[in-house]
Amino acid sequence: MNDAAIGIFDSGMGGLTVMRALMARLPNERFLYLGDTARLPYGTKSADTVTRYAVQAAAALVRRRIKLLVVACNTASGVALPALHEAFAPLAVIDVIVPGAQAALAASPSGPIAVIATEGTVTAGAYPRAIHALAPGIAVSQQACPLFVPLAEEGLVDGEIVELVAHRYLDGLLAAKPTCLVLGCTHYPALKTVIGRIAGDGVTLVDSAATAAMAVEQRLRDDELGTQATAPSHRFLVTDAPDRFARVGQIFLGRPIDPATVELVDLQ
């Protein structure tokens, strides 16, 4: 299995920020990414629906022979992990919430910590639970930002519209003077310029991509699943609009995506 791909899935393009960090940290590995673009966003859907979608997405990756699964969706990480572990054991499953909590505490050991995320992640209380499991006394506040995902998916990552929406979500949260702001959705790093400008220099922005990449590297080492490939190939699966995925996805991945590497799939 050493030369098999690492599978990654997200509701859309946001998980490409995690893939970007993984590619930087693990340049010899192959990656197979699935974006469930037809059913985006996950953050406004019920936990049962997100769990069903997550299992379907993971199954599509498993059928294509992967050696490790990365859940690059905070909403799915918050509600679907037990079902994924049960359905695909003994496959290793790495989520983004625990690494995000670890990164937040590294940036702000005594808090307070603020979290922006999808409605589903906020409702599930995933980040406060993960942070308090590591540091019970830390103050954690949350804010759902449902419009951030469609803005990012449209490639609207700066400008007046994004600025107005960001102020609407962030102003009240920032009034509590957090020292750390967790970008609790893998789409949100695409809006980092605007979010950082509004948050100001005194607030450290944290996303889980780099920490998740470290967790994947450690698991590959522990399980002796690393590869020595010198020219790894990467492929992408989407459930809708492959041409658009290739065009807009480069904003998240930080490099061009060859449309020939993007395949349309049906998860039903």
Go through the domains of the chain in sequence order and give each one's CATH number.
Answer: 5-95+210-264 (3.40.50.1860), 97-208 (3.40.50.1860)
pLDDT of residue 228: 73
pLDDT of residue 268: 74
Residue 222's contacts (CB-CB under 8 Å, 6 or more residues apart) are: none
**Contact yes or no for 28/230 (Cβ under 8 A):** yes
Q: Which residue has the tokens 């990654």?
A: 8
pLDDT over 70 for what percent of the chain?
100
Position 145 confidence tier, pLDDT thresholds 50, 70, 90: very high
Residues involved in catalysis:
73, 185
pLDDT of residue 267: 94
Structure confidence by residue, pLDDT tens digits, 39-80: 999 999 999 999 999 999 999 999 999 999 999 999 999 999
**Contact yes or no for 19/253 (Cβ under 8 A):** yes
pLDDT over 90 for what percent of the chain?
90
pLDDT of residue 159: 93
Q: State how far the Cα of 30 lies from the Cα of 248, in Å rounded to an integer.
A: 22
